[in-house]
Chain A
């Protein structure tokens, strides 16, 4: 038997190697997208596939940025995601502040109901929402998609913000209250600025949700100019005109913003998803 120390060191080394290899396997789809985006059309469909790109990507990116509607779709996605996030923030901040600072009867039940809505399967909502939006004249309009996305991210937003606001000492509110500040002033000028990183994280989560939303956008948005990124990108699926390197370059451009944003808010990941389920 070896002594404890060498055993420990050896095990860690093996664990590290295993972790590196598994991370590589998990990253393969992403790396393959990157590789395919950076090669010529011929190389992208060559068999056997090359393991490294030939680097002929300038023409590809010029084409997808200037000769397809990609830029337009990205702009639409950006607008939908940003506006729905702003709407969700303007509704979510007061609600989270109320839940964090005030006591009232059935508060637990209220919190639970707000959280419970995020468990609803989207399909149950989208069937009637589609019908309603058509009746309201919002067919083929991004307004309906914005409204729905704002509401879809509201529950998680409220929960994350409430958790963040709980971290701001209540004495600060009391002091401001004694100085005669109104509740709205306290919320907007004291509590929100003090918990800005958390507010930004919640906004990013809401933005990413909207950026990724497919089902409702697919049913509501019909004309090509109204499409958001998910719909534009999905239209490349199974068609044989666009070469694979262009498809992957398009997917790459659409994937980079959320991946980069997400790396900033990693540490909020658990609280955003499992809504307080994990002690952290």
Chain B
């Protein structure tokens, strides 16, 4: 489906409707979006250029906040943590999403129920998921460590949340669990959009299952893969907050701290609005880059499909 709707829309007949109606219908929506999206973004941009203190004596400091953040010791770690978290999500949500979608694409008894179960993580509120995982990951009474010690005769347990790099891996795992439904559902509709004739042609040519997968299935899901990747980069990177904030607070020693979490902590715990806003602008720029690529893809795909 294309975003450029004007060609295919049924609205052609009403080209000459009065302008007043347009504003009546679209005005409130546009006004709200400006008030709650555009104005705050503008304010954040402004805030990032002013001094890093709450209160009266704020002064214009130019790019000093950005320079200080980039110059800080922890900046590289912050960036690397965010990238690992995001790319870990992108890869595994795609990988498991495609794998499970391939399974669900075949008919088998109970498929509808299984499909519904795979979607449950998405509907589970993030705060509830964080609490559940804090119990599963619990060092003393958690079932995961119990199973581990059972399997290894008590020699081996993992401190899931209070050690590096375990904390980051565990939090990435929680996010993968939460976002997996998105991967499954997107890959499933990509698989269903591959025409049967392509598979039949492969069969006629005597292709093996592996060859069919490689030459028919993978190319068939390529554009969805790119879109899932970009969408995940926007979602995961821009929303890498709730579970991290609740389970580790970015620790230990900052090794699970993402840019979003840092921005939040700078604003609401350390009261550094300038730093918080500058970090926020960084998140925004990266998200916008991905969003631009995403819509480029959507439109290109839309025009190919027609």
What is the bound-complex CA distance between A233 and B132, given in angstroms?
11
User: Is B135 a contact partner of A219 (Cβ separation < 8 A)?
Assistant: no
Q: Tell me the minimal C-beta distance from A231 to chain B in angstroms.
A: 8
Partner of A269, one of B140, B141, B185, B260: B185
Segment from A41-49, A55-63, A64-72, A194-202 that makes contact with B: A41-49
- Please give, as numbers and ranges, the residues of chain A lying within 8 Å of B90 by CB-CB distance: none
B residues whose Cβ falls under 8 Å from a Cβ of A: 1-6, 9-15, 17, 19, 21-22, 24-26, 28-30, 32-33, 35-37, 39-41, 43-44, 47, 100, 102-104, 106-111, 114-136, 140-143, 146, 150, 177, 180-182, 185-186, 189-190, 193, 224, 227, 231, 234, 237-239, 241-242, 246-247, 260, 263-264, 267-268, 273, 276-277, 280-281, 283-284, 287-288, 290-291, 294-295, 297-298, 305
- Please give, as numbers and ranges, the residues of chain A lying within 8 Å of B13 by CB-CB distance: 170, 174
Which residue in chain B gives the minimum CB-CB distance to A104? B22
What is the bound-complex CA distance between A112 and B29, given in angstroms?
14
Q: How many residues of A contact B (CB 8 A)?
A: 108
What is the bound-complex CA distance between A34 and B265, given in angstroms?
33
User: Is B9 a contact partner of A166 (Cβ separation < 8 A)?
Assistant: yes
Interface centre among A22, A30, A127, A214 (most CB of B within 10 A): A127
User: Is B35 a contact partner of A12 (Cβ separation < 8 A)?
Assistant: no
User: Is A176 at the interface (CB under 8 A from chain B)?
Assistant: no
- Please give, as numbers and ranges, the residues of chain B lying within 8 Å of A270 by CB-CB distance: 185-186, 189
Known: A12-B106, A19-B100. A29 touches B132 (CB 8 A): yes
Known: A49-B141, A98-B22, A151-B35. A23 touches B264 (CB 8 A): no
- Please give, as numbers and ranges, the residues of chain B lying within 8 Å of A38 by CB-CB distance: none
User: Is A248 a contact partner of B284 (Cβ separation < 8 A)?
Assistant: no
Other CB < 8 Å A-B pairs besides A27-B120, A120-B287, A279-B193, 11 of them?
A16-B109, A20-B110, A26-B120, A108-B3, A112-B3, A127-B47, A130-B267, A132-B40, A229-B127, A237-B130, A274-B182
User: Is B6 a contact partner of A108 (Cβ separation < 8 A)?
Assistant: yes
A interface: dominant SS: helix
Please list 22 pairs of residues, one from A and one from B, whose beta carbons are closer than 8 Å in the complex, sorted by A's number: A23-B114, A26-B120, A30-B132, A49-B146, A94-B26, A100-B11, A115-B3, A119-B238, A123-B260, A124-B41, A129-B36, A155-B33, A183-B21, A230-B126, A234-B130, A237-B247, A244-B135, A263-B123, A269-B185, A270-B186, A276-B1, A277-B298
